[in-house]
């Protein structure tokens, strides 16, 4: 399709595949602690979320939001439909938890979940946890937040000179990525983290998400074109390898799991290099164009379906089993089943529109 970055369609599906892989490996932390290879696989798969946010910024921040019609379309069509879809999945997940995890459900709790008011840890719980909540749906309110500020970001970035937009992105990354990475290491060593003054304090994960969102837009302006891809991959591999070795060392030293955040520097660097690689790929084949466009449309459906399938497999097929082989099955089976279900359910128009946003 003329004017379409088909490689970004492929990247979108790859991002969701990596999310499924990360969830599969995460739940076998006993294996992660004893294997540097599995630890590296888990840490590298974390780029899935980063890639998706970066890709969204790259594609959405370039649109025009300066007319009344475009603003109305953004807020009253796109965001409204997105909010309805997300709310439906919260309801589905809540009722799944009533059956699967015997979670109590009241009108108050239902309203609380629908408006994304959450007091529990947002980190995905182990597969055998009874405190399931909507932990893997935490990504949805993050996307709604980014869509909420999208027109303001887009107009501001268009008005700013290239240098100013780069400086803004750098500042956001310092607060949202570099500080959290340093703090992760300091907290592990029992030291106090480095925080901003309380009057300047803001949610650093939100800052990181905005920074990555903007970073996708900035990279699209060819700021990395002067660098050879082999050089970029060399830098990313060295940083990621050092992060994995250091993490493995800390785990062996203290005999407990240590985990860098999504916002860690090593994850960010690897994400940028993968993103830039796909940005430079030009796909001309009509077959692969159709294939990647179809897979891209399935990405959201795979995201919302894979986690319940992993839970069901753990309880009824792999209960008590923790090995790399089982982790890979927990990756391959939910991915394949999710793709098949989304493909079939997309044939029903109401499901395609309201559950899978196609």
The burial class, CB within 10 Å (0-12 / 13-18 / 19+), for 351 is middle
> Can you tell me the mean pLDDT for 219-247?
92
Evaluate if residue 186 carries a pLDDT over 80.
Answer: no
Report pLDDT for 28. 66
Whether 173 shows a pLDDT value over 80: the answer reads no
pLDDT confidence of residue 198: 40
Least confident piece of the model among 162-171, 194-203, 324-333: 194-203
Lowest mean pLDDT among 60-69, 175-184, 203-212, 345-354: 175-184
Question: Looking at the predicted structure, is the pLDDT value of residue 134 above 70?
Answer: no
Query: Percentage of the chain with pLDDT > 90?
Result: 46
Cβ–Cβ < 8 Å for 179, 267: no
Mean of the per-residue pLDDT values of the chain: 82
What's the mean pLDDT in 133-154?
82
Share of the chain above pLDDT 70, in %: 80
Both structure tokens of 159: 């008005």
Q: Are 56 and 82 in contact (CB under 8 A)?
A: no
241-260 pLDDT per residue, tens? 998 888 888 777 776 666 67
CA 285 to each of CA 233, 274, 290, 291, 297: distance values in angstroms, whole numbers, following the listed order: 26, 21, 9, 10, 18
The rounded distance, in Å, linking the Cα atoms of 212 and 153 is 13
- Given the structure tokens 């309880």, which residue do they identify? 315
Least confident of 44-53, 72-81, 275-284, 321-330: 321-330
Task: Output the six-digit token pair for 45.
Answer: 């798969």
pLDDT band at 117 (very low <50, low <70, confident <90, very high): low
Tell me what the mean pLDDT of segment 138-145 comes to: 85
Structure confidence at residue 132 (pLDDT): 42
- The model's pLDDT over 174-184, given as tens digits with 9 standing for 90+, comes to 666 776 677 66
Q: What is the mean pLDDT of residues 22-37?
A: 68
Using 50, 70 and 90 to split pLDDT, how confident is the model at 156?
A: confident
Span 332-357, average pLDDT: 96
With CA atoms as reference, report the closest residue to 172 among 219, 206, 134. Answer: 206
Report in angstroms the alpha-carbon separations of 283 from 1, 64, 289, 293, 297. Answer: 10, 26, 7, 11, 17
């Amino acid at each position: 399709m003329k004017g379409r970055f088909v490689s970004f369609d492929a990247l979108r599906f790859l991002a969701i595949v990596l999310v499924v892989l990360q969830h599969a490996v995460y739940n076998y932390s006993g294996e992660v602690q004893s294997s540097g290879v599995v630890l590296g696989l888990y840490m590298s798969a974390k780029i899935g979320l980063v890639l998706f946010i970066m890709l969204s910024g790259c594609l959405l921040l370039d649109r025009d939001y300066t007319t009344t019609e475009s603003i109305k379309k953004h807020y009253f069509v796109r965001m409204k439909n997105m909010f309805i879809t997300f709310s439906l999945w919260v309801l589905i997940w809540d009722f799944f938890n009533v059956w699967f995890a015997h979670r109590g459900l009241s009108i108050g709790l239902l309203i609380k979940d629908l408006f994304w008011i959450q007091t529990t840890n947002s980190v995905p719980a182990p597969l055998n946890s009874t405190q399931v909540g909507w932990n893997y749906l935490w990504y949805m309110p993050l996307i709604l937040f980014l869509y909420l500020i999208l027109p303001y970001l887009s107009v501001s970035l268009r008005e700013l000179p290239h240098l100013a937009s780069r400086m803004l992105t750098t500042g956001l990354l310092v607060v949202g990525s570099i500080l959290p990475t340093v703090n992760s290491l300091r907290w592990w060593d029992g030291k106090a983290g480095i925080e901003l003054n309380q009057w300047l304090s803001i949610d650093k994960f939100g800052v990181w998400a905005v920074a990555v969102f903007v970073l996708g837009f900035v990279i699209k302006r060819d700021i990395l074109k002067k660098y050879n891809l082999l050089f970029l991959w060399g830098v990313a591999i060295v940083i990621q390898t050092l992060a994995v070795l250091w993490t493995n060392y800390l785990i062996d030293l203290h005999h407990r799991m240590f985990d860098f955040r999504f916002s860690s520097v090593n994850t960010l660097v690897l994400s940028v290099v993968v993103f830039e690689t796909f940005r430079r790929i030009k796909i001309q084949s009509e077959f692969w164009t159709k294939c990647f466009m179809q897979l891209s449309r399935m990405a959201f459906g795979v995201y919302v379906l894979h986690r319940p399938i992993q839970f069901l497999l753990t309880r009824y097929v792999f209960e008590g089993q923790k090995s790399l082989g089982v982790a890979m099955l927990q990756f391959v089976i939910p991915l394949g089943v999710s793709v098949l279900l989304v493909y079939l359910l997309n044939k029903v128009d109401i499901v395609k529109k309201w559950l899978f946003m196609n």
